[in-house]
Amino acid sequence: MKTAAKKTYMRRSMTVLAGYFLTFSGTFWFVQHAHPTGLELYACAVLPFFPLFVVFALTAAYLKAERDEFSRELVMRCLLWGAGASLSVNLFVGFLRIFNWPGQAPPFLELFAFCGAVLLAKLTYKLSNPLPAE
């Protein structure tokens, strides 16, 4: 069952994520046509990054607002599993780069690792703590 804080968080996050896809598509199109450099390039990178940053802030606000301790702890644990996976992937790629790896990691690799680990943790916790039928 979703708490009121979770429902608000989901609604706000979905709105921001819709904005993210629009911003990302718009910026990507602009970069491919205008080939910006220097400060313009940094500004272009900030544009799609900003909605993601808002989602981080919304998650922090949700964790502060959530009154159901079990739900909050579960979300924190899932996020930490995601962070662990994302950081370990990032570290592996970092060491490859330090050791002069000529390749390039796929874009969004760390973000996919984060989402995958969060989803897996959520499923695992759900299976190990099944709620009794109401």
Partner 1 sequence: MGVYLPVYFATVFATSLYVQHHHPRGTALYVCAALPWLALCGGIASIAVYLYEERDGYSRDLAMRCLLWGATGAMATNSFLMYLRMFGWRGQAPALLEICVFAAAMLVARIAYSVSNRPECGRKEN
Task: Region of 100 please: left (phi>0), alpha (psi -120 to 50) or beta.
Answer: left
Q: Which of 22, 46, 119, 123 binds partner 1 (CB under 8 A)?
A: 46
What kind and span of H or E run contains 117? helix 109-128
Nearest to 12 by CA among 48, 65, 49: 65
Site string for partner 1, 93-122 (x = CB under 8 A): -xxxxxxxx-----xx-xx--x--------
Q: Is residue 66 part of the contact set for partner 1 (CB under 8 A)?
A: no
CB nearer to partner 1: give 88 or 134.
88
Q: Which of 88, 119, 124, 126 binds partner 1 (CB under 8 A)?
A: 88
Q: What is d(CA 118, CA 115) in angstroms, rounded to the nearest whole number?
A: 5
Q: What is d(CA 5, CA 61) in angstroms, rounded to the nearest whole number?
A: 9
Please report, as ranges, the residues that interact with partner 1 according to CB under 8 A.
27-28, 31, 35-36, 41-42, 44-46, 48-49, 52-53, 56, 60, 63, 76-77, 79-80, 82-84, 86-88, 90-92, 94-101, 107-108, 110-111, 114
